[in-house]
Structure 1
Amino acid sequence: PPGSYLHDEIKHLNGTLGSLTYVLLNWGILSSHLRDYTAVCTTELGRANKLSCEFSRSNIEMIALSIDSLEDHRGWTKVSASGCAFLFPIIADSHRKLAVGLAMLDHDEKDKDGIPLTATVDFSIGPDKRLKLSLLYLPTMAWNFDEILRAVDGQQLTAQNQLATPADWQVMCVFIDCSCRYLSAGYVCRVMYLRPLFSSDRYFAAP
């Protein structure tokens, strides 16, 4: 069936985005929005544009998507970017090919012809082209960029090390050592901290 599940390979991106397949070389965020020129979506795209340096710092490529036309996207980006250059691409999925394949449609929100519009969805995609995170919002709730960046930062660090993040984890905070073992009386794990060095490199150390 259509749709994507955690660890699924996002095959819909292969060959579909043309020159945008560069996202597959890095960590990527694919975000869909309801419609161009709507109030909530305009704040989302404007905020994403302002955070372009944060995305670059975390080696994240950002791509947006909706079922609007290329002409609508061009006009809207001039509005949402507040006169600044728009720093990431927006897919014009007017035929809903990607939206259907990735289960991004909101069947309660329809256009004038009664066809579903794209929901507010965020996908985090790893360099292995597999889905790492899926966030789905109501159309009245905008993307939470703090959570998106926090989650991808955590995914990158835990993918490179045998670690996990505890509840309410934030960047530069405590980790859980995944090499811990279950014991008969419960389970014991070591807590690890990510500490900065003067050289700006980072290392893991037990408290």
Structure 2
Amino acid sequence: MGLTIGDTAPDFVAATTDGVIRFHDWIGDSWAVLFSHPKDFTPICTTELGYMAAIKGEFDRRGVKIMALSVDPVDKHAAWAADIEETQGTAPNYPMVGDADFAISKAYGMLGADVSGDPADRTAADNQTVRGVFVIGPDKKIKLILLYPMTTGRNFDEILRVIDSLQLTARHKVATPANWTQGQDVVIAGSVSNDQAKDLFGDWDEPKPYLRIVPQPK
């Protein structure tokens, strides 16, 4: 069975463009985003890596570390990073993992256990399932899993929106409604009784007994 939300993110030791990293140690007390790529020098991934580099400050502001993974050895990443900077205007400013033995991709359920051989012999299409986004909390638990096709670039502004929600709901007994963005009203969590809600939030709007709406807690 594959990974699900709430599972512990598989730990690993891997070579990266920032040196050898043990994943859980690297996360430390932070949040983290691990996003993966089927091969170096792929067009849509090139745009994604550049965009993530450009908005890295938004992740930093939220205490979130970024790590990219590609099913190619680290020694190929430098040339790709140069292409990313040339075409996107910003080079990757976060670690890029090499997964030439497919071990991390397998651990995260993106490639089958039977995959083996030289990554140079595999095309991006062979690795097309290595297009994941994993948001991981300081407790090393997986909070979000998204998988994208190769033809659709990822929306990292949406990843930031989800992180805002995850961090808010980790601190307060609320949930965020459809299309919620920072500063908008939220919903009191269903696990909170009305008596508890009075202590926590005072008054609330209640179009239905199960739908209790309050301003976003500070």
TM-score (norm 2): 0.77
Name stretches of at least 5 consecutive residues in structure 1 with no aligned partner: 195-201
Aligned to 1:75: 79
State yes or no: 1:50 paired with 2:54.
yes
User: Which AA in structure 2 matches 1:193?
Assistant: P
Aligned to 1:18: 21
Q: Equivalent of 1:146, from 157, 164, 167?
A: 157
Q: Is the 8 A contact 1:180 1:190 kept in 2?
A: no
Instruction: State the secondary structure of the residue aligned to 1:8.
Output: coil
Aligned to 2:167: 156
Matched pairs, number:
189
Q: Is the 8 A contact 2:53 2:92 kept in 1?
A: yes
Instruction: State the secondary structure of the residue aligned to 1:42.
Output: helix
Q: Equivalent of 2:107, from 98, 101, 119?
A: 101
Aligned to 2:96: 90
Per-residue CA deviations over 1:124-157 (Å, capped at 9, x if unaligned) read 0000000000000111111110111000110000
**Of Structure 1 and Structure 2, which has the larger fraction of its residues in strand?**
1
Q: Give, in whole Å, the separation in 2 of the partners of 1:102 and 1:134.
A: 10
Q: Aligned residues: percent identity? A: 32
Aligned to 1:126: 137
User: Which AA in structure 1 matches 2:8?
Assistant: E
Instruction: State the secondary structure of the residue aligned to 1:133.
Output: strand
Report deviation, 1:193: 1.6
Q: Give, in whole Å, the separation in 2 of the partners of 1:39 and 1:135.
A: 20
TM-score (norm 1): 0.81
State yes or no: 1:191 paired with 2:205.
no
Q: Is the 8 A contact 1:32 1:104 kept in 2?
A: no
Q: Is the 8 A contact 1:119 1:138 kept in 2?
A: no
Aligned to 2:33: 29
Report deviation, 1:55: 0.7
Q: State the 4+ residue runs in structure 1 displaced beyond 6 angstroms.
A: none
Q: Give, in whole Å, the separation in 2 of the partners of 1:50 and 1:141.
A: 19
Seen in structure 2, the aligned counterparts of structure 1 residues 76 and 14 have a Cα distance that, compared at 3 Å, is closer
Seen in structure 2, the aligned counterparts of structure 1 residues 71 and 134 have a Cα distance that, compared at 3 Å, is same
Instruction: State the secondary structure of the residue aligned to 2:209.
Output: strand
Q: Give, in whole Å, the separation in 2 of the partners of 1:143 and 1:105.
A: 19
CA RMSD of aligned residues (A): 2.6
State yes or no: 1:175 paired with 2:178.
no
Q: Is the 8 A contact 2:50 2:84 kept in 1?
A: yes
User: Which AA in structure 2 matches 1:37?
Assistant: F
Q: Is the 8 A contact 2:5 2:145 kept in 1?
A: yes
Instruction: State the secondary structure of the residue aligned to 1:190.
Output: strand
Report deviation, 1:15: 4.8
Q: Give, in whole Å, the separation in 2 of the partners of 1:121 and 1:43.
A: 15
Q: Give, in whole Å, the separation in 2 of the partners of 1:84 and 1:44.
A: 11
User: Which AA in structure 1 matches 2:5?
Assistant: L
